Amino acid sequence: MSEVLAELFTQKTWEVLWPALLDTLFMTVISTVLMALFGVLLGIVLLVTRLDGLHPICVLNAVLGVVIDALRSLPSMVIIILTLPLAKFVVGRSWGPGAVMFALALTCTPMFARMVEGSFLTVERGKVEAAKSIGARNWEIMLKVILPESLPSLIRNFTIAIIALISVTAIAGWFGGGGLGDVAVRYGYNRFLTHMLIGAVFVLIVIVEFVQIGGEAWARHIVRKRHL
């Protein structure tokens, strides 16, 4: 074990891990932006079109719900395989960090959309009705009541979604996505280099802990400001 730890902190090891870390961060940041954008939009549509929503459209809500739940049920590996042709069309190749961004976003967006809807539903119905009673429009209720009131819950759910996305970046390594998952597979699994496997896992854990601590601190800050 001491030999493995010694190898872990050598320059040769980090010459491999450092570029992989940058690839993972690149994939995570871009995919997170896409996930946040489409997840929030879908969550708003799901909330607004509910039977008891601001603008009920039951057919649209039911169809969208089925599509989202169907995508949530697909394994990450299946989504990665299905989106590789799309990636090749958009970025010109079906491998590398840029190619798997679409798969990462598509994997986690349906889950995050349901989380967004759940966060919105935590807002007290009375506050929404009070806003309606003073003549607020639907978009005003959404922007000035529901979004601010649900923000701490949204942040916590967003943190969970980012962590799930990071775990999918590791799976993407099996499909030529690069990053720390690729290092774990090529060096740790295929070449039996235990120190590389441990290094990749360690860095992933550090990233996840950083995201978790940062997200929780952000949510608590919002709550404290609200009670001042």
A 10 A CB-CB count for 208 gives 15
Regions in the chain scoring below 70 on pLDDT? 1-8, 91, 93-94, 96, 176, 227-228
pLDDT at 8: 67
pLDDT at 45 (0 to 100)? 96
- The pLDDT value recorded for residue 193 is 80
pLDDT given for residue 73 in this prediction: 87
Check residue 178 and give left, alpha or beta (phi > 0: left; psi -120 to 50: alpha).
left
Closest CA to 173 of 74, 82, 103, 85: 103
Whole-number pLDDT of residue 2 = 64
Q: How far is CA 165 from CA 122, 125, 177, 224, in A?
A: 24, 32, 13, 28
What lies within 8 Å, CB to CB, of 77 at 6+ separation is 171, 174, 175
pLDDT at 89: 72
Sign of the dihedral through C-alpha 203, 207, 208, 209: positive
Ramachandran angles phi, psi of 71, nearest 5°:
-65, -35
Contacts of 159 (CB under 8 A, 6+ apart): 211, 212, 214, 215, 216, 219
Residue partners of 134: CB distance under 8 A and separation at least 6? none
The pLDDT, as a whole number, for residue 6 is 67
* pTM score, whole prediction: 0.89
Domains and CATH numbers, the chain: 2-227 (1.10.3720.10)
Q: What is the pLDDT, as a whole number, of residue 82?
A: 79
3-state SS string for the chain: CHHHHHHHCCHHHHHHHHHHHHHHHHHHHHHHHHHHHHHHHHHHHHHHCCCCCCCCCHHHHHHHHHHHHHHHHCCHHHHHHHHHHHHHHHHCCCCCHHHHHHHHHHHHHHHHHHHHHHHHHCCCHHHHHHHHHCCCCHHHHHHHHHHHHHHHHHHHHHHHHHHHHHHHHHHHHHHCCCHHHHHHHHHHHCCCCHHHHHHHHHHHHHHHHHHHHHHHHHHHHHHHHHHC
**Tokens standing for 149?**
């009131």
Q: Which pLDDT does position 194 carry in this prediction?
A: 84
Report the pLDDT value the prediction gives residue 227, as an integer from 0 to 100: 67
